Structure 1
Amino acid sequence: MKKLFFSSVAMFVAVVLACSCASCKNSAKTSAAEADTIALVGPTFSADSAYAFTAAQCAFGERTMNSRAHDLCGEWIMKKFASYGMTVESQDADVKGWDGTTLHSRNIIARFRPEATTRILLCAHWDSRPWADNDPDSTNWRKPVMAANDGASGVAVMLEIARALQSDTTLKVGVDFVCFDAEDWGTPQWADVADDADTWALGAQHWATHLPEGYEARYGILLDMVGGAGSKFYQEGVSKQYAAEIVNKVWRTAAGIGYGSFFPMKDGGMLTDDHVPVNEKAGIPCIDIVPFFPDCQQSSFGPTWHTVNDTMENIDPNVLKAVGQTVLQVLYSEE
C-alpha cells in the first residue's frame, strides 16, 4: 500500500467540499455531538488473541510474493479460518508485477454463514512489501519488510472476529473474509520508472473482476495497518466518495463504544488501496480503515511504513482492540 493521490475525481471532490465548507463544519460538529454512548452488542474482541495472530504470521518471516514463507503462511491462514467453522477457499492466479515478474498470488476467502443472502465483506491484504523503500536508511531500501502492521494486523483482526463468530447464532448477516494477495508489490520508490496505481492491489483487482455470479455484499470494510502504535484512523477520502454512509456508521459506532479517540471525525488523505477496485470494479461500497499521521515526517502512514521497523515491537494491542471491537459492534448492529 498505498499511495496518497489526488486524481481529477479527487480534485472535483475537494472543490465540492470546499464549496460547502460551512455546512460541512456544521455537519461534523453535529455528528460528533450525536455520537452518544451505546451499549455493546455481540462478543468481546480479544486484543491478546489478535496480537498473537499477528505474531504467528510474522513467525513465518517476511511473506513476500513467490517465497516459501508466503506459501506456508497462506496455508496457515486458511487452516485457522477453517478451524473456526468458516467455509474456506483460495482464488489462485498468476499476475504481473510492476517489473513484469510473474507473481503466484492467492486470495483467501472464508465465509461465515454462507447460506445468508445479506452479506458484509471484511478484507485485508496478507502479503509483505518486498522492499523497505521508505526506510530512512537507504541501505535497507531493497530489504523485505516484516509487515507486522502493514499486512499481518488486518488479517489478525479478521481471524479474531472469525474466532468470536464461530459458535454464534444471533448475527443477522453473513460475513465474507477476504485476504487479498499481491497488494504490496507496487512500484518501489527507487525504481527508475513512474509509479503506476495499477501496480498496487493486484489481488484485489483480480478478485473484483472475477466475482462468483450473483455475488453481492451490502458493503465492505478494508482493514489496513490496524495495529501500529500511535495510530489514529481519519476518514479516508475514497471511502467517503463511494461509501460515505458506511464511514459515518463506523466512526459513530467507534465513538459510541468509547473508541472515538482512535477514530477522529476528521478527513485523511485519498489512497490507492484494495478498496479502490472493490468500489470501482466490483461495485461494492467499501471503506478503508487505515491510519493517518498528519504530523509524521517519515510518512503520513506512520514511522514504520515500508521500513524494516514494521515489526511486532511496534504493534499495540490497544489499537487492535479499538478496531476489532468497533467492527464487531458494526456487524451486530446490522438488521
Structure 2
Amino acid sequence: MRKYLLWAAVALAACNSGSKQPTAADSADIKKPFAAVPVFSADSAYASIEKQVSFGPRIPGAKAQQACAEWLIARLRTLADTVYVQRVNVNSEGKNLPCINIIAAFNPSVKRRVLLLTHWDTRPVADKDAANAKQSFDGADDGGSGTAVLLEVARHLKTQKPGYGIDLLFTDAEDYGNDYCLGTQYWARTPHVPGYTAAYGILLDMVGARNARFYMEGTSQQFAGAQMKMFWDVAHKTGSSEYFRYETPSNGPFFIEDDHTYVNDLLKIPTFDIIATRPTGELMAHHHTTADNISVIDRQTLAAVGQPLLALLYGEPFKY
C-alpha cells in the first residue's frame, strides 16, 4: 500500500468523530466477549500465519503463490457456503502477473451483507530495507496477519452464522512494484457476483504486530466514518482501547492508498481500513523489510483485532 500524510487540518474533520479520547473507563470496561459471541483464538490465527510463511514469499508468479492459494481455497471450502476463485492476469509496469482472488461467502442468498477483506500476497522485494533492498521477505504481518484473522472468523461462521450475509475477500497482487491493489481493482470492476454490493466493508492490513496501534485513517473517515467509529466503539467495549485510538496520529491526518480506496471509489461500498501505524502516522518499522517475519507477530494484537470483529459481527453490525 502507498501512504500519504497530510500535515495540516483538512476538511474531513467534519466527518471525523475523533475528538473523543480513550479514558481509564474504556480499558476497565468489558474484558470478555459479549454474550453469544465466540472467543477469538489468537493461537489459531498465529498458526495460520506460520502456515502462510512456510510456503515462502507469496509473490505473484512464484510457486509459493500457487501453493498458498490452493491451501487457502481448500481451507475455505471446508468453512464457507460458497467459494469463488478469480484467476486472472493483471498488468504491473508492463508485466503480466497471475492474480488469484478468493471469495468465501456465508449466507450467499441474503441481500444484506457485510464485506471483510485483506490481501494475502507479499511484495517482491524489501525495498525499505537498507541492507536487503532486493531480497524477498516473509510478509508475516503485511499479508499474513489479515488473512489469518479472517480465517479465524470463517472458522466461527462455519458453526454459528448470523442472519445476514458475510463475504470474506482475499485479494492478490496488492503490493507489487509501484502499482497497488491490482487484485482489488480487478474484483471491484468484475465482482464475483454481478451487481455485488454490501452495506459496508472492513479492510484488515498489518493487524498482527507487537506494539501495533490503530489510528483513524483519512479515506476511511471520509467514506465510512460512521461504520469506522462503530467498530472502534466495539473495540473499546471489548477491552481493546489500548490498540484503537480515536485520534489521528501526532503529525496530523493521514491517507493510505490501500484496497479500501478502490472498494470505495469503484463499488461505492463504504469501507474503512484497520492498519497499524506508529504514533507519528508512519507505517510500522518492519513494513517492506526482511524484519516482517514471524518474530514481529504478537498474539495479543491478533486478539485485540479479532475479538472486536467477532463482537461486531455477532452483535449489532448495522448500528451506525
Query: One fold, TM greater than 0.5?
Result: yes
* Residue pair 2:100, 2:172 contacting (<8 A) in 1 also: yes
1:215-249: CA deviation from partner (whole Å, max 9, x where unpaired): 12010000000101110111111100100001110
Rounded to whole Å, the distance in 2 between the matches of 1:17 and 1:111 is: 33
Rounded to whole Å, the distance in 2 between the matches of 1:33 and 1:318 is: 19
Pick closer, same or farther for the CA change 1:30–1:152 going to 2, 3 Å.
closer
Aligned counterpart in structure 2 of residue 146 of structure 1, from 135, 138, 143: 138
Tell me what 2:257 maps to: 272
Tell me what 2:312 maps to: 330
Tell me what 1:200 maps to: 180
The DSSP-based 3-state class of the residue aligned with 2:144 is helix
Pick closer, same or farther for the CA change 1:32–1:238 going to 2, 3 Å.
farther
Aligned counterpart in structure 2 of residue 283 of structure 1, from 242, 251, 268: 268
Aligned counterpart in structure 1 of residue 109 of structure 2, from 106, 115, 118: 115
Give the fraction of aligned pairs with identical amino acids, expressed as a percent: 39
Rounded to whole Å, the distance in 1 between the matches of 2:21 and 2:259 is: 31
Rounded to whole Å, the distance in 2 between the matches of 1:152 and 1:31 is: 29
**Residue 51, structure 1, aligned to residue 42, structure 2:** no
Rounded to whole Å, the distance in 2 between the matches of 1:24 and 1:310 is: 31
1:141-160: CA deviation from partner (whole Å, max 9, x where unpaired): 11112100000110000000
Greater RCO between the two (CA within 8 Å, min separation 6)?
A: 2
Tell me what 1:131 maps to: 125
The DSSP-based 3-state class of the residue aligned with 1:145 is coil
Deviation at 1:89, TM superposition (A): 1.4
* Residue pair 2:217, 2:255 contacting (<8 A) in 1 also: yes
Between Structure 1 and Structure 2, the one with more helix by share is 1
Deviation at 1:131, TM superposition (A): 0.9
* Residue pair 1:132, 1:308 contacting (<8 A) in 2 also: yes
Rounded to whole Å, the distance in 1 between the matches of 2:177 and 2:42 is: 30
Letter of the 1:325 partner, please give it.
Answer: Q
Rounded to whole Å, the distance in 2 between the matches of 1:244 and 1:33 is: 24
Aligned counterpart in structure 1 of residue 100 of structure 2, from 97, 106, 111: 106
Deviation at 1:172, TM superposition (A): 2.3
Rounded to whole Å, the distance in 2 between the matches of 1:75 and 1:32 is: 45
Tell me what 2:175 maps to: 184
**Residue 80, structure 1, aligned to residue 75, structure 2:** yes
Deviation at 1:208, TM superposition (A): 0.7
Rounded to whole Å, the distance in 2 between the matches of 1:17 and 1:237 is: 7
Deviation at 1:31, TM superposition (A): 8.4
Rounded to whole Å, the distance in 2 between the matches of 1:276 and 1:293 is: 21
Tell me what 1:174 maps to: 165
Letter of the 2:277 partner, please give it.
Answer: F
Letter of the 1:303 partner, please give it.
Answer: A
* Residue pair 1:222, 1:287 contacting (<8 A) in 2 also: yes
* Residue pair 1:125, 1:151 contacting (<8 A) in 2 also: yes
**Residue 311, structure 1, aligned to residue 302, structure 2:** no
Aligned residue pair count: 308
Equivalent runs, 1:2-81 vs 2, <5 Å: 2-5=2-5, 14-16=9-11, 28-29=19-20, 37=29, 40-41=34-35, 42-81=37-76
The DSSP-based 3-state class of the residue aligned with 1:254 is helix
Can you give the 5+ residue segments of structure 2 that lack an aligned partner in the other structure?
none
Letter of the 1:200 partner, please give it.
Answer: Y
**Residue 256, structure 1, aligned to residue 218, structure 2:** no
Rounded to whole Å, the distance in 1 between the matches of 2:23 and 2:86 is: 41
Aligned counterpart in structure 1 of residue 151 of structure 2, from 130, 154, 159: 159
Rounded to whole Å, the distance in 1 between the matches of 2:241 and 2:24 is: 12
Can you give the 5+ residue segments of structure 1 that lack an aligned partner in the other structure?
188-198
Deviation at 1:205, TM superposition (A): 0.6
1:66-96: CA deviation from partner (whole Å, max 9, x where unpaired): 0110111011011111112441111122111
Rounded to whole Å, the distance in 2 between the matches of 1:32 and 1:248 is: 16
TM-score, with normalisation over the residues of structure 2?
A: 0.90
Rounded to whole Å, the distance in 2 between the matches of 1:144 and 1:91 is: 25
Rounded to whole Å, the distance in 2 between the matches of 1:227 and 1:30 is: 23
Letter of the 2:119 partner, please give it.
Answer: H
Deviation at 1:16, TM superposition (A): 2.3
Pick closer, same or farther for the CA change 1:287–1:208 going to 2, 3 Å.
same
Rounded to whole Å, the distance in 2 between the matches of 1:175 and 1:5 is: 32
Moved more, 266-275 or 233-242: 266-275
1:109-140: CA deviation from partner (whole Å, max 9, x where unpaired): 11111122111100000110101000132xx1
Deviation at 1:4, TM superposition (A): 2.4
* Residue pair 1:129, 1:185 contacting (<8 A) in 2 also: yes
**Residue 95, structure 1, aligned to residue 76, structure 2:** no
Letter of the 2:220 partner, please give it.
Answer: S
